[in-house]
Amino acid sequence: MYESSAPLTNSLYPRSAKRGKHKIFIGMAPGVGKTYRMLEEGHCLRQEGIDVVVGLLETHKREETAAKAQGLELLPRKQVECSGITLTEMDTDAVIARQPQLALVDELAHTNVPGSEREKRYQDVEQILAAGIDVFSTVNIQHLESLNDLVARITGVVVRERIPDRLLEEADEVVVVDVTPETLQERLTDGKIYAPEKIDQALQNFFQRRHLIALRELALREIADNIEEDGIVADANTPTNASYCNIHERVLVCVSTYPNALQLIRRGARIAGYMHAPVYCLFVDNPDRFLTREESLHIETCERLCKEFGGEFVRVKDHDVAAAIANT
C-alpha cells in the first residue's frame, strides 16, 4: 500500500467552516478493492465517533462490496428524467443538507445523466468539499486526463470518462490500492468483478496481464511523482531555499487544426508536470485562411483542455508560423 505524505487525521473533526479535505483511493483497474477500502475506512471512522454517510455507492452487484456497506448510512439517490427514462444520480444537495463530517463517494470520473445540475461527479464532489464536508472518493488510473492517450496505446481502449489531473494534485491524500496482476485476474475468473458472460472478453482485452502490469506501473509512478512534487514544494518554501534564484522552465505546445493536437497537449502537460513548469499552448491563426466550423470547434476544444491542465492558451494571427512561435 502506498500513501501520500499528507494524511488525513482526526484533528479535522469536528469540521470547521473551511473547505473539506479530499482523500482519493486510486487503483490500476476495476476490482482492485478501492471501494471496499474506502468503506472499510469509513467504518473505522464511524466507530471512532465520526459522522459518516455514503453519498454514492456503485456495488456493480459485487457481494463483498455490498456487504461491506452494511451499517453505514446510505443517502437516497436523486431521480433524473432523461429521454422519458428515469435514472438516478447522487443527490449532492441532500449530502450538503445532511451536513455529515465525511461523505463517501464512489467513481469520481462518472459522467452524470444529461439534465443533471453538473456534468461530472467530480464537480459534485467539489461542491460538497466547498460546503466544508470531507470526502473519500475512488478512481482508476486510466481516468486521468493526461494519461488518456497512453492508456489507449497500452490497452487499445479509449476511456471516455476522465478527470482533470489537478484533482490528484489538489487532494489532501491519495492512496494506491494495489494488488498483483495475477490476483486481479484470479478475482475476475472467480466472478468477483464482472458477470460470468463478460469474464472471457475482459481477460482477452483490458485485463490481459501485460496491460495490468503497465497500468499498475502508471498508478504507482503517478503517486510517487505527486509525493516527490510535494517534497519539492515543501523544500522550496523553507527559509534556506527561499532566497535562491531559480531558472524557471516552461513548456510550449504548438497546436493546429490537426486531430493530434489534443494528444500533444496531454503530453506537454505531463512533461510540464514532471518539470514543475507552466504549460503554454500556441495556435498560430493565418489571417488569409478562414477556419471551418469543425476546425473552430477543434481549436476551442484545445483551449478548454489546455486550461483544464492549468495552462495558458495563446492565439496569435501571423502569416509566418515559425516567426510567431519564435516571438511568443
Terminal Cα distance for the chain, rounded: 45
Any idea what the CATH number is for the domain that residue 257 is in?
A: 3.40.50.620
Domain boundary among 230, 263, 294: 230
State whether 305 and 181 are in the same domain. Answer: no
State whether 285 and 181 are in the same domain. Answer: no
State whether 189 and 288 are in the same domain. Answer: no
State whether 313 and 216 are in the same domain. Answer: no
State whether 112 and 146 are in the same domain. Answer: yes
Domain tally, the chain: 2
| Strand 52-56, strand 85-89: pairing | unpaired
* Phi, psi of 241, rounded to the nearest 5 degrees: -100, -10
Grid cell locating 13: 473533526
State whether 306 and 163 are in the same domain. Answer: no
Give the C-alpha separation, 324 to 314, whole Å: 11
Give the C-alpha separation, 173 to 275, whole Å: 22
Give the C-alpha separation, 61 to 67, whole Å: 11
Give the C-alpha separation, 178 to 176, whole Å: 6
Q: Which residues contact 224 (CB under 8 A, 6 or more apart)?
A: 2
Give the C-alpha separation, 104 to 106, whole Å: 7
Q: Each residue's pLDDT tens digit in the chain (328 positions)?
A: 434 434 444 444 444 468 999 999 999 999 999 999 999 999 999 999 999 999 999 999 899 999 999 999 999 999 988 888 889 999 999 999 999 999 999 999 999 999 899 999 999 999 999 999 999 999 999 999 999 889 999 999 889 999 999 999 899 999 999 999 999 999 999 999 999 999 999 999 999 999 999 999 989 888 877 665 555 455 555 555 444 334 467 899 999 999 899 999 999 998 888 778 899 999 999 998 899 999 999 999 999 999 999 999 999 999 888 888 888 7
State whether 215 and 266 are in the same domain. Answer: no
- What is this structure's pTM? 0.73
Range of the domain at 182: 2-230
Any idea what the CATH number is for the domain that residue 165 is in?
A: 3.40.50.300
State whether 256 and 224 are in the same domain. Answer: no
Q: Are 102 and 135 in contact (CB under 8 A)?
A: yes
| Bridge partners, residue 102, by sequence | 52, 134
236 occurs within a structural domain: no
Nearest Cα residue to 114 out of 82, 78, 79: 82
